[in-house]
Structure 1
């Protein structure tokens, strides 16, 4: 009889190890841009659509404002984004890319291809994995 409490029987463990490995592979690529992985995710969202509220970013990235606010402050210090309190609702803070943040996009263009190459599996396998993850987490648009 299988013991379902063995580490090798757990789905969560290889997912955890995989997540750590992916972030470790991103690190040297992002160090060149002076970004952490969570900051890179913020930039991806802003490169898609500039000027969003902290709440909008939090919804898209599945992060609460307590996590996002210090991260955005550090990004503002690096002059990648600007944070401006809304004049309509002072509880709301608008996040926009600076010129430096916009220009970083060009430097980041090669990151996805470098990540795919570093994994050593086919694009089809990666797409299948991503689709399965979206199915489980229900994060597909």
Structure 2
């Protein structure tokens, strides 16, 4: 009978370690752009959607406002995004890209393919991993 409390029997550990490993592969690529991994994630959402409220960003990125707000403030200080109160409801903060934030999209185009190359894994394997992760996350 397996001892389910052994580290080698845990599903959570390789998932945790893989998350850290993937983030480490992103680091040198994002350093060239002056971005952290969470800032890159915010940009991915904004490049796709142009304008988001803090709450919308939090939902998409699975981050609470306590984590997101300081991150967004740092991005605003770097002139990547702008934060403005909604004209309809001043409690709502809307996030949009600045010209600098938009320009980073061009520089980031090569990141996905560089990531695949640096991890030494096939696109099919990555897609399978993403499918399984999304299946768990979207339950």
Secondary structure in structure 1 of the residue aligned to 2:35 = coil
Query: Does 2:52 correspond to 1:47?
Result: no
Are 1:84 and 2:72 an aligned pair?
no
Aligned length: 139
Pairing of 1:1-141 with structure 2 (within 5 A): 1-138=1-138
Please, which runs of 5 or more residues in structure 1 have no aligned partner?
Answer: none
CA shift for structure 1 position 115: 0.3
User: Which segments of structure 1 move beyond 3 Å, counting only runs of 4 or more?
Assistant: none
Residue 11 of structure 1: how far off its partner (Å): 0.3
**CA-to-aligned-CA distance 1:77-108 (integer Å, 9 cap, x gap):** 00000000112111100100000000000000
Q: For structure 2, which runs of at least 5 residues remain unmatched after alignment?
A: none
Q: Distance in 1 between matches of 2:100 and 2:117?
A: 28
Q: Within 2, Cα distance between the matches of 1:6 and 1:95?
A: 45
1:35-83 alpha-carbon deviations (Å, 9 max, x no partner): 1000000000000011111011111101111111100000000000000
Per the TM alignment, residue 122 of structure 1 is displaced from its structure 2 partner at its CA by: 1.1
SS of equivalent to 1:95: strand
TM normalised by structure 2 equals: 0.98
Deviation at residue 134 of structure 1 after TM alignment:
0.8
Following superposition, the deviation at residue 25 of structure 1 comes to: 0.7
Aligned-residue RMSD, C-alpha: 0.9
SS of match in other structure, 2:87: coil
TM-score (norm 1): 0.96
